[in-house]
Amino acid sequence: MFKKTHIASFLFLMICLLACNSFQYQSTNQFYKKQTKDLVKQIKLEPSLQIVNDLPAAKQWVGTTNFDLRKPNFVIIHHTAQNSCDQTLRTFTLERTKVSAHYVICKDGTVHHMLNDYMRAWHGGVAKWGNNTDINSSSIGIEIDNNGFEPFETAQINSLMLLLDKLKTQYKIPAENFIGHGDIAPKRKVDPNIHFPWNQLAQNGYGIWYNPDSTKLMPEGLSIPLALSMVGYDVADSTAAILAFKRHFRQDSTQIMNEADRSVLAQLIQHKLTGK
């Protein structure tokens, strides 16, 4: 009787230990590994030309010796619009949600690198910046744990700065290509919203800003929608584009464009045209 009780206790203890040591995302990590292996197989395939409309394909394949990996050229910053980092991690590990990001930054500054930078995350959705209509294919998505109505934590911004330095250096991303989800999808999104410290980022080379004391005027005859489109905004809905511009550069959520707003817009256009 003693031995049976002892064995039962031992088994119960082992079960408890295994439960304590189990990782919540072990199964989704296995899915990630399988998915990447499948993609690697596709990359390793020799190029093959499909015959379309009697296109004359060469009989033998000749592979070039000059190539490397495609690299990201934009960084898109989001707020999660959820109530915790754990909630976001779960969202990004459920296949049915069809959303993801390369990085998630929690309130305590912890950074989750969820996807290889060279992979295409599903974070931008239907979006446009300038002539780029496939943002996901050229960008890295960073989600910051924030419900959209609160200031960002200092620890989050500190971690973000370190991450942006790494990305800018590693991929040679231009300063003006650090933008927000609301900038590329003004009709659908507002993130990272008016509480995000874009000025602080721009002072460190991640994004562009303006001189608050400037009296620079917009060129005569240049309309607000045309000016916004020159910066990069999709002006199919001009009101949405104005609101996106105001949230990013003026920390304002009104659609009225005053002289100070116009001066900021004029400076952004000048930077776009001259790089200064």
Predicted local distance difference test score (pLDDT) of residue 212: 83
- Place 13 in a pLDDT band, splitting at 50, 70 and 90: low
What is the DSSP-derived secondary structure letter of residue 53? T
Residue 72 CB neighbour total at 10 angstroms: 22
Angle between helices 259-274 and 224-231 (to 10 degrees): 40
Nearest partner of 232 among 129, 79, 91, 156, judged by Cα: 129
Q: Quote the mean pLDDT of the chain.
A: 91
**pLDDT at position 63 over 70:** yes
C-beta separation of 178 from 129 below 8 A: no
Query: What is the per-residue pLDDT across 134-144, written as a single tens digit (0 to 9) for each?
Result: 999 999 999 99
Task: Give every strand in the sheet of 103-105, ordered side by side.
Answer: 111-113, 103-105, 139-144, 74-79, 178-180
Catalytic-labelled residue, pool 143, 150, 153, 220 = 143
Peptide bond into 151 cis (omega under 30): no
Predicted local distance difference test score (pLDDT) of residue 43: 87
**pLDDT at position 197 over 60:** yes
Query: What is the per-residue pLDDT across 228-239, written as a single tens digit (0 to 9) for each?
Result: 999 999 999 999
Catalytic status, residue 95: no
Which helix (H) or strand (E) segment holds residue 77: the answer is: strand 74-79
Tokens, residue 57: 């394909």
More confident residue, 10 or 123: 123
Which residue type, as a one-letter code, is found at position 179? I
Percent of the chain with pLDDT over 70: 90
Give all domains of the chain, ordered by start, each with its CATH number. Answer: 68-209 (3.40.80.10), 210-276 (no CATH)
**pLDDT at position 218 over 70:** yes
**pLDDT at position 149 over 60:** yes
Average the pLDDT over 263-273 and give the result: 93
Of 33-42, 93-102, 215-224, least confident by mean pLDDT is 215-224
Tokens, residue 12: 């119960």
Percent of the chain with pLDDT over 90: 76
Query: What is the per-residue pLDDT across 16-58, written as a single tens digit (0 to 9) for each?
Result: 555 556 788 999 999 999 999 999 998 888 877 655 667 777 7
What is the DSSP-derived secondary structure letter of residue 232? T
Average the pLDDT over 162-175 and give the result: 98
**pLDDT at position 152 over 80:** yes
